[in-house]
């Protein structure tokens, strides 16, 4: 059973029943947020009780919205490792949390595992969404496990692996010559035309609950002492908003204190609506024209929940940083040499950190966490276009000079 109480509009606060399918507040055009009975959670939850639980995101059952465990659609996602990095860039306590080893190769699995479990619980048979690529792959995969028909629309130039895995998992896959925003328009029309259930980023309330586990894990894995700064590659923002929600819920039940990390949103110079809004001190972003970056997951011209991303950044005393595609490739090379073949989005956080160190916004003694959202293995097409592979072809060992 779950301690979920109801859903609440992030703008007007209107309550929505959680025991039937809900999307977003149509009046405010804003996300719905899951609210739990925190008094009850406080009574039943203890840090010690976590010991010996399943080593995936479902270990935090008290904070999750699924009523009946039999509806859980899981492939073992979450509880990913945190590695210390020994990079000579000016901070001593540098860590990376690696969601590259999750099923489907990106952290989108967290959100989809949760949303599709809840969809199953609510008897939903058909789901649809636009995706930059990785969300489609995860929706297709978990949809297949749940036996839920899945429609995905993504840019024609989405990473090849995302298209392939979605197709092979049996989803109905459509490509558009455009961006995730163009895919979104088609999905919206399909929703009214075919009665699809919309699981678009932040228009469905439970993907956020899946992403929230990132924050729960960060807290537990750092022994309830949060990092000083978290750098996060931001597209639709679910991960950042999710971690922020996790920290607030943990504080609410007394598991952590008031010291929250500064949340840093990292985007690409070719698509940086949040960075621009932050620089201008705005609470909402504007649609970014001609979005272009090799980091497909953060090629999101306008996030539906942009105001929530910005709220978390401002409230935490954080920041927003844009980096170039060249800097992203350089940083992925550096991380690969640390044993982490990460996605371009993940690599962007290292590129951004270097800028923050340079501008004095990060102190050398601070505990810094880079969030790697996915594996480089999903981006072999993108990397092969940007990394010059100049490998010698040999026919004899004599040609090897050491
Ligand atoms: C979707 C995606 C992101 C951005 O995630 P949001 O939570 O939507 O901001 C970052 N990295 C990768 C690999 C992604 O697929
Ligand atoms: Zn509302």
Distance CA 54, CA 32 (A): 29
Ligand 1 pocket, 373 CB below 6 A? yes
Q: Measure 9 CA to ligand 2 centroid, in angstroms.
A: 5
Question: pLDDT confidence of 1, banded at 50, 70, 90?
Answer: confident
Look-up of token digits 């070719």: 270
Q: Within a domain: residue 165?
A: no
Rounded to whole angstroms, the Cα distance separating 7 from 180 reads: 27
Rounded to two decimals, the pTM is 0.97
Does 201 sit in the ligand 1 pocket, CB within 6 Å? yes
Which tokens hold the place of 203?
Answer: 């228009």
Question: What pLDDT is recorded for position 35?
Answer: 98
Binding site membership of 103 for ligand 1 (Cβ less than 6 Å): no
Q: Looking at the domain assignment, is residue 308 inside a domain?
A: yes
Ligand 1 center to 304 CA (angstroms)? 14
Give the residue whose CA is nearest to atom 8 of ligand 1.
236
Specify if 91 maps to a domain: yes
Nearest Cα to 387, choosing from 347, 356, 338? 347
| Residue ranges in 10-125 assigned as alpha helix (H) | 38-44, 108-121
Which residues does residue 7 pair with via DSSP β-bridges, in sequence order? 16, 34
pLDDT by residue (tens digit) across 97-154?
999 999 999 999 999 999 999 999 999 999 999 999 999 999 999 999 999 999 999 9
Q: Is 292 among the domain residues?
A: yes
374 Cβ closer than 6 Å to some ligand 1 atom:
yes
Closest CA to 186 of 140, 119, 137, 128: 128
Question: Other CB atoms closer than 10 Å to residue 17's CB: what's the count?
Answer: 10
CATH number at residue 382: 3.40.50.1100
Range of lowest pLDDT (21-25, 169-173, 176-180): 176-180
What average pLDDT does the structure give for the chain? 97
Residue 180 lies in a domain: no
Could you tell me if residue 335 is inside a domain?
yes
Cβ–ligand 1 contact at 345 (below 6 Å):
yes
Task: Give the chain's domain count.
Answer: 1
Instruction: Give me the domain span that covers residue 336.
Output: 82-105+207-386
- To 10 degrees, what angle do helices 238-252 and 207-221 make? 60
307 in any annotated domain: yes
- For residue 41, pLDDT beyond 90: yes
Tell me if 44 is assigned to some domain: no
Kind plus residue range of the DSSP H or E element containing 233? strand 229-233
Helix (H, G, I), strand (E, B) or coil at 150: strand
């Amino acid at each position: 059973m779950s301690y979920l109480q109801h859903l609440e509009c992030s703008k007007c606060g209107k309550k929505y029943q959680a025991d039937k399918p809900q999307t977003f507040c149509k009046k405010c055009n804003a996300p719905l947020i899951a609210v739990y009975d925190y008094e009850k959670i406080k009574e039943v939850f203890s840090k010690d009780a976590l010991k010996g639980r399943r080593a995936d995101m479902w270990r935090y059952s008290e904070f999750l919205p699924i009523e009946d465990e039999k509806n859980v659609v899981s492939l073992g996602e979450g509880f990913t490792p945190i590695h210390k990095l020994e990079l000579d860039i000016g901070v001593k306590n540098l860590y990376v949390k690696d969601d590259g080893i999750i099923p489907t190769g990106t952290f989108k699995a967290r959100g989809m595992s949760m949303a599709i479990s809840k969809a199953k619980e609510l008897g939903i048979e058909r789901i649809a969404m636009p995706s930059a690529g990785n969300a489609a792959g995860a929706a297709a995969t978990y949809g297949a496990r749940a036996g839920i028909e899945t429609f995905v629309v993504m840019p024609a130039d989405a990473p090849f692996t995302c298209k392939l895995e979605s197709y092979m998992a049996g989803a109905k896959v459509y490509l558009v010559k455009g961006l995730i925003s163009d895919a979104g328009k088609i999905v919206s029309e399909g929703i009214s035309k075919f009665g699809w259930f919309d699981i678009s980023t932040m228009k469905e309330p439970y993907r956020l609950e899946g992403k929230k586990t990132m924050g729960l894990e960060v807290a537990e894995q750092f022994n309830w002492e949060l990092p000083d700064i978290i750098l996060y590659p931001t597209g639709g923002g679910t991960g950042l908003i999710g971690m922020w929600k996790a920290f607030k819920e943990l504080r609410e039940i007394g598991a952590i204190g008031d010291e929250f990390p500064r949340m840093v949103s990292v985007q690409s110079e070719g698509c940086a609506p949040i960075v621009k809004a932050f620089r201008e001190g705005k609470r909402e972003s504007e649609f970014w024209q001609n979005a272009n970056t090799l980091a497909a997951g953060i090629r999101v011209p306008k996030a539906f929940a942009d105001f929530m991303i910005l709220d978390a950044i401002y409230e935490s005393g954080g920041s927003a940083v844009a980096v170039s595609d060249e800097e992203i490739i350089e940083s992925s090379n550096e991380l690969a040499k640390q044993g982490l073949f990460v996605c371009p989005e993940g690599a962007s956080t290292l590129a951004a950190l270097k800028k923050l160190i340079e501008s004095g916004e990060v102190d050398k003694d601070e505990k810094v966490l880079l969030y790697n959202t996915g594996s480089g293995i999903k981006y072999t097409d993108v990397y092969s276009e940007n990394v010059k592979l100049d490998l010698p072809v040999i026919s004899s060992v004599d040609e090897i000079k050491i």
